[in-house]
Amino acid sequence: MNENVTKIPDIFGCMVFTEEKMRQRLSADAYQAWQQCQAQGKSLDRSIADEIASAMKDWATELGATHFTHWFQPMTGFTAEKHDSFITPAGDGRILMELSGKELSRGEADASSFPSGGLRATFEARGYTAWDPTSYAFVKDRTLCIPTIFCSYSGNTLDKKTPLLRSMHALDQQCIRILRLFGNTEAQHVIPQVGAEQEYFLIDKADYRRREDLRLCGRTLFGAKPPKGQELDDHYYGAIKPRIAAFMHELDIELWKLGVFSKTEHNEVAPAQHENAPVYCNANVACDHNQLTMELLKTVAERHGLVCLLHEKPFAGVNGSGKHDNWSLQTDTGENLLKPGKTPSQNAQFLLFLAAFVKGVDEYQDMLRCCVAYPGNDRRLGGNEAPPAIVSVFLGDELTAILDAIISGTEYVDVSKRHLKIGVDTLPEIPQDTTDRNRTSPLAFTGNKFEFRMVGSSQSIASPSAVMNTMMAEELSQFADILEKADDFQSALQALLHDTFTAHQRIIFNGNGYSDEWVAEAKRRGLKNMSNTVDALPAYIDDKNVALFTRHGVLTRDEMEARYKIHLENYCKVMTIEGNTLLDMARRQILPAVSKYSDELATALFHKQNCGIPLSAKMEEATLRKLSDLSGKLYDTCLALDRAIAKAPAMDGGIKAACYYRDEVDARRQKASALINQLETITDAQHWPFPTYADILFSV
């Protein structure tokens, strides 16, 4: 045991071209130039890029790498890579192993099949990748992976990483303005920190292969509730089964090799559901790490005869999977700007950043909902394990009481029973975390960070993080404009806190987000309730939101409109795939299986009636009638679904097409699913063609 523990520091980051490896392998000038490029965004001289590329290639080949790739994150939500070998002809049939600075810094990919939302025509195939020096290169599967951004020939961003990097830059600038007002001259940069808790399901590969819906859609399109589910809460934090423990151990090793700070793992609430959580790191690196985590969850599971399901709701009626985007702000000197301090000055600064976040969530609640809107998350949001679709902020009773005192101008009684008039020079010590986390809150303050709990398990964290970064940059910019012009900083700050919390207190809610009362209360407060993707996505092209992202150089209007189109088209495609998959399963397997079982019942019923014992045929007669009724309804519903898909508008038809696929295609698919669930409960198990929920969830 001790021997294995001592090996962890040795393997951690062994497949990553870390700063320490760069310092060891580069000249002093090249190393310094790279540091300036990373910290200040300065471009690299060609000779410096060549030296870094050569050192990176030497290191990678020592680890067995034969190829390199620009590893990027297109609008599919997954990662993409095109592999090129290091070989270069040297004459006389010989080769050299080379990587040039040009190859390191820039690549060209055939971008014709990646989603672009109209940013370029299909025949304009060229797309370009550019090295992101703020994220370390790594070796995976004998390939040197160089993290990059991805853009079109015209320079429009075609990926999820570029807006994140731009938003981090915008936020950095505005945070520094605020810190200077509080006399902080040491910090040079503020970097958003993210820790992404990743939930997932593990099922047996044999069950997965027997369900076409799992293979094609990533989720079950039907399934009756099992006799036992998660009611006893016996799986949550329970002892990890040996097969799962072996998987988790290998997953940790592979993640540690790639420098991913995999820290926590446990069983989640639902049977077969688990969670992995890392240590916080810079937002763009955390995004890369989470993409690697999702990839390795799948590849490591395969090696253990398992399949990892990252869909937000793979089993209806059972807990879904989220990805909690834990977000905070940290200076390059190590100060967490969302951590309450011990002095009035520190707390005044904390309250200002808190006010900016609360104001931003209230003003851009539609954009926060929009950035987590897609079909999988529609199945999850609002369930008993996920926050509702209504965006709100949870602060806890004590912090809310302090804000109430600021708003009302009354005294606040702290835990030591001191009566304090709330002002910037007489602020109480604010407790870091005195309230239990509200599991129903979409955005919960948990002591030194905000936990954005609406993010789905299969989603890249780049977009949610970019939205929070940009939102905060805007609010801090407005605050800095006011305070920099103030004659009396203390009075202006006091007034700003009072006015901000007063104007935006409607977004603060510490109660039960699942209750019907909250839905009514949220409506009374004027909060938005966008229950599905189609209703949420128009926020992308709302003038207010377009102005936000263009003002801070995060996305252009064209880039936002492109994302709007991409997500609408994706919604239509998913609805079509799910509808056609259910039709295929119903027609080719379910209806024939029910028909065969009905034949057996009819035969048994005939024999019993002709033998003069009709009373003993009650079960056969009642079941046969019910099967006949349900199968007839299912057949008719399948015909209606088929017609709806056939009449559907083009999937790139915009919001009208998406509304059609939601109201006509998916509505009929859901009706068919409900009928299949009923048929499953009364069909002989030997005839039912698919593994049931009980089979799948309790097989590992």
Domain holding 470: CATH number? 3.30.590.10
Q: Are residues 416 and 318 in the same domain?
A: yes
Residues 467 and 361 both lie in one domain: yes
Angle at 459 between CA 455 and CA 464, to 5 degrees: 50
E strands, 186-311, in order: 190-204, 262-267, 273-278, 281-282, 306-309
| Of 629, 627, 635, 638, nearest in space to 679 by CA | 627
pLDDT reported for residue 409: 81
Q: Are residues 488 and 612 in the same domain?
A: no
- For 274, other C-beta atoms within 10 Å of its C-beta total 23
**427, 525: one domain:** yes
194 within domain boundaries: yes
**Residues in the chain, how many?**
700
Residues in contact with 28: Cβ distance below 8 Å, sequence separation at least 6, in sequence order = none
Does residue 325 sit in the same domain as residue 209?
A: yes
**In angstroms, rounded to a whole number, what is the distance separating the alpha carbons of residues 446 and 509?**
14
Q: How far apart are CA 247 and CA 228, in angstroms?
A: 25
Does any domain span residue 275? Answer: yes
The residue segments making up the domain with residue 251 are 167-547
**Which CATH number is 631's domain given?**
1.20.120.1560
Evaluate whether 80 touches 73 at the Cβ level (below 8 Å). Answer: yes
Q: Rounded to an integer, what distance in angstroms lies between the CA atom of residue 220 and that of residue 218? A: 7
Q: Are residues 146 and 178 in the same domain?
A: no
Residue 559: inside a domain: no
Amino acid at 59: W
Residue (of 353, 356, 333, 359) closest to 341 by Cα position: 353
Q: Are 141 and 204 found together in one domain?
A: no
Is residue 553 included in any domain, yes or no? no
Q: Can you give the pLDDT at residue 419?
A: 44
User: Which letter, b or e, does each residue of 98-132 get, where b requires 16 or more Cβ atoms within 10 Å of its Cβ?
Assistant: ebebebbbebebebeebbbbebbeeeeeebbbbbb
Tokens representing 67 are: 């190829």
For residue 552, being part of any structural domain is answered with no
Domain-located, residue 457: yes
Q: State which residues of the chain have pLDDT below 50.
A: 1, 3, 418-421, 426
Q: DSSP secondary-structure letter at 414?
A: -
How far is residue 149's CA from residue 574's CA, in Å, rounded to a whole number?
26
**CA separation (Å) from 539 to 277, 372, 536?**
30, 12, 6
Domain limit, last residue, from 108, 137, 158: 158
Residues 530 and 580 in one domain: no
Of 547, 562, 585, the last residue of a domain is 547
The CATH number linked to 137 is 3.10.20.70
Residue 557, in any domain of the structure: no
Does residue 515 lie in a domain region? yes
Q: Are residues 304 and 449 in the same domain?
A: yes
Asked whether residue 538 falls in the same domain as residue 587, the answer is no
At which of 108, 125, 158 does a domain end?
A: 158
632 and 500 both lie in a single domain: no
DSSP run (H or E) holding 498: helix 489-503
pLDDT at 1: 41
The structural domain count of the chain equals: 3
Strand partners, 456: 322
Q: Which residues contact 392 (CB under 8 A, 6 or more apart)?
A: 361, 441, 442, 443, 507, 508, 509, 513, 522, 527
pTM over 0.85: yes
What is the rounded CA–CA span in Å between residue 280 and residue 292? 15
Same domain, 153 and 237: no
Q: Is 108 helix (H, G, I), strand (E, B) or coil?
A: strand
CA distance 31 to 23: 6
